[in-house]
Amino acid sequence: MARKKRGEHVSGWINLDKPAGLTSTQAIGRVRRVLNPQKIGHAGTLDPMATGILPIALGEATKTIPFVQDALKTYTFTAAWGEQRDTDDAEGQIVAVSANRPGEDDILGVLPDFIGDILQTPPAYSAIKIDGQRAYDLARSGETPEMKPREVYIETLELIDFRPDEADFRMICGKGTYVRSLVRDMALELGTRGYVKNLRREAVGPLTLENAISLDFLEEMDYVSALNEALLPLQAVLDDIPALPVKQEEAARLKSGQVLTFISRPDFSRLTREGLGGQEDRQALAVFNGAPVALVENRGPEIRPVRVFNL
């Protein structure tokens, strides 16, 4: 007899506005105490000093975490000039200094070099694994982890305020982009040193500050209020993929892992209405009466379940 899972059978997303001073893991722990879900995870770590959007998935929503991790993210941050720190943020120790300070025109001149697909070396103090160990654990033990450059994508990078010793920026970027690395590299190109003084994540895909909830406010709620007022539906993070309505018997077949074949004219018309009638592989959200059934992939007239939701 299968052992009953501990916790509540609750699924959805908490769009948390994480405060400064907490790790992402600590924030998850506090959300867990409010909602006690059977499963919980987050999409995109925030450093303790950083604030802003930390998407937290509960229950079956954990199956959609990769979609959120791959979404574009928006950050605002302050770069402080004249010092480089071992963590590349305000919490680290000073390792180099420079008397040079870039002018506003200097900064505007280098911004195009950091837009598009660029190579970026992650900070030594990061969660990247090297031979099975986190880079930050190696760095804290006195070792110098070998951080390999990797390609990241920056869609926009703009200067929003300039002061003699620091500057404020807004950036929209793809998965795996480190703001700390960006500021470090930008400072070096400007002939100085720099680190991230503060950092706020304003959006992760469709999750924004406008629909976020503070941790303090969430912790003031009881379980029922949190479900009704703070929990977003599983499909809230899937607004950029098409929804494919299915019939009850089709939903049952998908849930059992079976492939659907849409070869009749009415069925194929359903696919084409949702942009799924071509031969190329595309993913969609199969829904029955508005409720998520499965993430599916179409191959021509065939619909294959990729992730099935047990809601």
**Residues near 205 by Cβ (< 8 Å), separated by ≥ 6?**
67, 68, 71, 72, 73, 237, 239, 240
Q: For 189-201, how does the pLDDT look when each residue is reduced to its tens digit (9 = 90+)? A: 999 999 999 999 9
Whole-number pLDDT of residue 283: 85
Give the pLDDT band of residue 1 (cuts 50, 70, 90): very low
Which phi and psi angles does 273 have, rounded to 5°? -60, -30
Specify the higher pLDDT residue, 92 or 79: 79
Average the pLDDT over each of 81-85, 262-266, 274-278, 294-298 and give the range with the smallest value: 274-278
Whole-number pLDDT of residue 125: 62
Residue 279 has pLDDT above 60, yes or no: no
- Contact criterion met (CB below 8 Å) for 44 and 55: yes
Which is catalytic among the residues 17, 47, 88, 89? 47
Assign 3-class secondary structure to 149-182.
CEEEEEEEEEEEEEECCEEEEEEEECCCCCHHHH
Residue 13 has pLDDT above 90, yes or no: yes
CATH fold of 12-71+206-237 reads Pseudouridine synthase (3.30.2350)
Specify the higher pLDDT residue, 127 or 18: 18
The tally of CA atoms less than 13 A away on the side-chain side of residue 288 is 16
Whole-number pLDDT of residue 142: 61
Residue 45 has pLDDT above 50, yes or no: yes
Give the pLDDT band of residue 281 (cuts 50, 70, 90): confident
73-204 and 243-308 agree in CATH topology: no
Tokens of 270: 């359903």
Average the pLDDT over each of 56-60, 104-108, 281-285 and give the range with the smallest value: 281-285
- Please report, rounded to a whole number, the percentage of residues in the chain having pLDDT higher than 90: 67
Whole-number pLDDT of residue 137: 61
CATH 2.30.130.10 for the 243-308 domain, yes or no: yes
Whole-number pLDDT of residue 292: 94
Give the residue ranges of DSSP H helices in 93-238: 104-110, 135-140, 179-189, 215-219, 223-229
Residue 116 has pLDDT above 90, yes or no: yes
Average pLDDT, the chain: 89
Whole-number pLDDT of residue 183: 97
Average the pLDDT over each of 13-17, 63-67, 94-98, 295-299 and give the range with the smallest value: 295-299
Domain spans in the chain, listed from the N-terminal domain onward: 12-71+206-237, 73-204, 243-308
CATH superfamily, domain 73-204, is: Pseudouridine synthase (3.30.2350.10)
Q: For 216-256, how does the pLDDT look when each residue is reduced to its tens digit (9 = 90+)? A: 999 999 999 999 999 999 999 998 888 888 899 999 999 99
**Residues near 221 by Cβ (< 8 Å), separated by ≥ 6?**
34, 229, 230
175-184 burial, b at 16+ Cβ within 10 Å, e below that, comes to eebbbbbbbb
Active site (annotated) includes residue 17 = no
Q: How far is CA 269 from CA 147, 262, 273, 292, 310, in A?
A: 50, 9, 6, 21, 28
